[in-house]
Chain A
Amino acid sequence: MEALEMFTSDRNADVYTEELKLNLGPQHPSTHGVLRVELAMDGEIITDSWCDIGYLHRCAEKIGENVTYLQFTPYTDRMDYLASMNNNLAWSLTVEKLLDVEAPERAQWIRALVAELNRIASHLIAFGTYGIDLGANTPFFYAFRERESIMQLLEKISGARMLYNFIRPGGVANDIDDAWMDEVSAFCDDFEKRWVEYNTLLTDNFVFIQRTANIGILTKELALSNGCTGPVLRASGVKWDLRRDVPYLEPYDECEFDIPVGEGTHGTLGDCWDRYWVRMREMIESVRIIRQCIEKIPPGAHMEKSMVKMYKTPLKPPPGEAYVRCENPRGELGFYVVSEGGNSPIRCRTRAPSFCNLSVLDKLLPGTMLGDAVATIGSLDIVLGEVDR
């Protein structure tokens, strides 16, 4: 950067400035929880950064090795608490793979429907908080208005607003009816109109583009080598989405939808604006999937018959191991479990997308300014509950 060359902390130079250590977090408005980033600042410019995580470590994986398979489902809610349905889904699929059973067809469609609804809710938070990070407070309230509708819809079928515990090994907790699906399609109609409003308010705003284009450029190579997934990877131009490439639910095979990838519209490929715009377009793709789910959902049972006994006596899967990954709003969530035939797994491991996405932060920050650091952290859309587990 030009400014970096003018003033340097090199003491042999004619004009030098003293380095300032700044603690960004763990209590800071824009670290999305309890992330702590230690920044070495040269005036307004960041020269080095160290990410410090672990403030929200709750031993989720160890707990998974001490409770039964079913009891662990609510714990997965609390990892990425903004996308509980998707976490439940990944865990349920892992247990089902271990047991070698498959959820009934109707359950699979319900799962896809609620997972996509939750994806919209999660991306809405990303959109709203990103506005706040950049100083625009208003989009947040618009995003929360729509998220409220989603939470009310999901509350009607699961009884909970945020931590649903709805998708369970073997199927889903409750069946859904036509009246509920009508409400969902009414929401979809509403949402598409509101989505255009968001773009008027924030996406196309000149100041917003100035703040995000060409900032925090994540190259394809860096993204791949750090295991970035989800919108962060796709914004760097890699068209990789498990829903399309490794369909883990029947509807993803049968529904039509596009995978938005970054195009570098306003700057370089893989900048903050691209990551933001990929999320925005994914919301519309989710609406498309939801519409098709409502149309094509087959009748039948919502829970596998043979699995019902699991809810009475602790289930003991045969010895073996299973790894399943799902496309969460933040990227690939993977669960790895090893069973030795007991009540609980002897090894339970989570591959958290936020954790891998956060690993690029230290490489993106040096050379940018303090305001850009906030924009970059926001564009990675991390959930600390998932990073620290």
Chain B
Amino acid sequence: MEALIGLFGELFGLEGTLALSAAYAVCIGSILGFVTVYSMFAIWMERKVAAHIQVRMGPMVTGGWHGWAQSVADAVKLLFKEDIIPTRANAFMFWIAPAVVFCGVFAGLIVVPFAVGVQVVDLHLGVFFIIAIASIEVIGVIIAGWASNSKYSLFGAVREAAQVVSYEIPTATALLVPILVVGSFRLNDFNTWQAEHHWLIFHSPWLAMAALIFFISSLAGCKRAPFDLPEAESELVSGFHTEYSGMRFSFFFLEEYTSMFVAALLTATLWFGGFNLPFVDSSAWHPALAMPIGIVVLLAKTFFFIFVQMWLRWTLPRLRVDQVMSMGYKYLVPWAFVALIATAVWDYYGWGWLPL
């Protein structure tokens, strides 16, 4: 961000507010572009992963090589579809819900460090910010379910509210564990710490446990199987977005895939070394080399976790609504607190675990 402002000053002679606005526009534009392209790729990837798990080929025709343009074609189709608002629906709420849903997860991306210096804002409370801003999404979903004037939508929205609010507790508690070790909320500090020491997943058994708890509860947060109750197809048709069509519907899709990305990215950054390569010390590299490699490494790790999310979705049956709740409150929450307290004790005495 600061670098961009400086760059605009040098290149075009922009100063003050003008440079700031230009820099914001570029940042937002690039993140929006990234989210769109990423979502298309992720949807294509989901179809391919699903197909290969299900002994199929998936899209093979559109665009030539393995149907790479299928998502582009789908997006174009969605853009041209008729935008239907049900007669008895609350039109304004119905209209605003997808935007609210999308804003939350989209805003979370601005604090993510993709590589050294590739970050919009280096917030001191980066982790906290992502968790907090992502909660806005629930409000959008409740609005969508209520405004649709459909019982299935309402069921989906209520399920979503209960599930996401419950699972925020283990998510946040599990996130506190690496924060306790590193001593910072700033996402960049995790990258530096892990470059200097080791990946946090290997730090102690409690951190590995926290990673597992975070990953499971982030699945519930993203409404991914086996916790996809808000949109449980066989029960609720498609839950809170039953009545949506066209571009509004695709916003819910964008939101789902972006929140998957954020969850996978947090797992990669907080536990799996962020943009650092394993066994290689990249701190002395020239920024021009470190930056692209950092981006590739981080994206590779992120896509690995996205793959795991997809893998689970196409393998596991769905839990029942009360089982989802009891899993959250009876297993994940207590164990997340155990991990938190155990880490505090473990690191106070400075015990080691693996020969690192």
Question: Which A residues are closer than 8 A to B by beta carbons?
Answer: 3, 20, 22-23, 28-30, 44, 131-138, 140-142, 145, 201-202, 205, 207-208, 210-211, 369-372, 374
Please determine whether A210 and B53 come into contact, CB atoms closer than 8 angstroms: no
Q: Are A3 and B322 in contact (CB under 8 A)?
A: yes
Q: Known: A210-B323, A211-B319. Is A371-B314 also a contact (CB below 8 A)?
A: no
Which of A28, A44, A132, A145 has its CB near the most chain B CB atoms (within 10 A)?
A44
From A3, A138, A371, give the contact of B315 (CB < 8 A): A138
| B151/A137 in contact, CB under 8 A | no
Question: Given contacts A135-B228, A135-B234, A141-B54, is CB(A44)–CB(B317) below 8 Å?
Answer: no
Q: Count the A-B residue pairs with Cβ separation under 8 angstroms: how many?
A: 80
How far apart are the CA atoms of A241 and B317 in the complex, in Å?
A: 31
Query: B317 contacts which chain A residues (CB < 8 A)?
Result: 131, 134-136, 202, 205, 207-208, 211
With a cutoff of 8 Å between Cβ atoms, the chain B residues found around residue A133 in the complex are 234
Apart from A20-B151, A211-B320: 16 A-B pairs, beta carbons within 8 A: A29-B237, A131-B317, A132-B234, A133-B234, A135-B226, A137-B50, A137-B54, A138-B54, A141-B56, A142-B54, A201-B315, A205-B317, A207-B319, A208-B317, A371-B232, A371-B321
> Is B83 interfacial (CB 8 A cutoff)?
no
| Chain B min CB distance to A162 (Å) | 21
Given A135-B225, A374-B234, A369-B320 contact (CB < 8 Å): yes
List A contacts of B233 (CB < 8 A). 29, 135
- Shortest distance from the beta carbon of B196 to any chain A beta carbon, whole Å: 40
Residues of A within 8 A of B347 (CB): none
Asked if A135 and B321 make an inter-chain contact with CB atoms under 8 angstroms apart, the answer reads: no
Closest to A370 in B: B235
Contacts of A210 in B (CB 8 A): 319-320, 323
Residues of B within 8 A of A44 (CB): 155, 321-322
- Report how far A30 CA is from B225 CA in the complex, Å: 18
Task: Give chain B residues whose Cβ lies under 8 Å from the Cβ of A207.
Answer: 226, 316-319
Give residues of chain B (207-247) contacting chain A, Cβ–Cβ below 8 Å. 225-226, 228, 232-237
Q: Tell me how many residues of B have a C-beta within 8 Å of chain A.
A: 26
B315 CB to nearest A CB, Å: 6
Residues of A within 8 A of B55 (CB): 141-142, 145
Chain B residues lying within 8 Å of A23, measured Cβ to Cβ, are 151
5 tightest A-B CB contacts, nearest first? A135-B318, A141-B54, A136-B317, A30-B234, A134-B317
Main secondary structure of the interface of B (DSSP, over half): loop
**Which of B50, B228, B317 has the most chain A CB atoms inside 10 A of its CB?**
B317
Selected A-B contacts with CB under 8 Å, 18 pairs: A22-B151, A23-B151, A30-B235, A44-B155, A132-B234, A135-B226, A135-B228, A135-B232, A135-B316, A135-B318, A140-B54, A145-B55, A207-B226, A207-B319, A210-B323, A370-B235, A370-B321, A371-B318
Q: Which residues of A contact B236 (CB under 8 A)?
A: 370
CA distance A137 to B317 in the complex (A): 8
Whole-angstrom CA separation of A202 from B314 in the bound complex: 12
1/0 contact string of B9-21 vs chain A (CB within 8 Å): 0000000000000
State the Cβ distance, B153 to closest chain A Cβ, in Å.
Answer: 12
CB-CB under 8 A from A369, the residues of chain B are: 320-322
A30 cross-chain contacts in B, Cβ below 8 A: 234-235
Q: Cα distance A28–B319 when bound, in Å?
A: 20
Contact digits for B283-309, partner A, Cβ 8 Å, 1 yes 0 no: 000000000000000000000000000
Q: Within the complex, what minimum Cβ distance (angstroms) separates B284 from chain A?
A: 47
Task: For residue B82, give the distance in angstroms from its CB to the closest CB of chain A.
Answer: 20
When distances are taken between beta carbons in the complex, the residues of chain B under 8 Å from A141 are: 54-56
Q: Is the CB of B53 within 8 A of A136?
A: no
B318–A28 touching, CB < 8 Å: no
What is the bound-complex CA distance between A370 and B322, given in angstroms? 11
* Assembly CA distance A197 to B106 (angstroms): 41
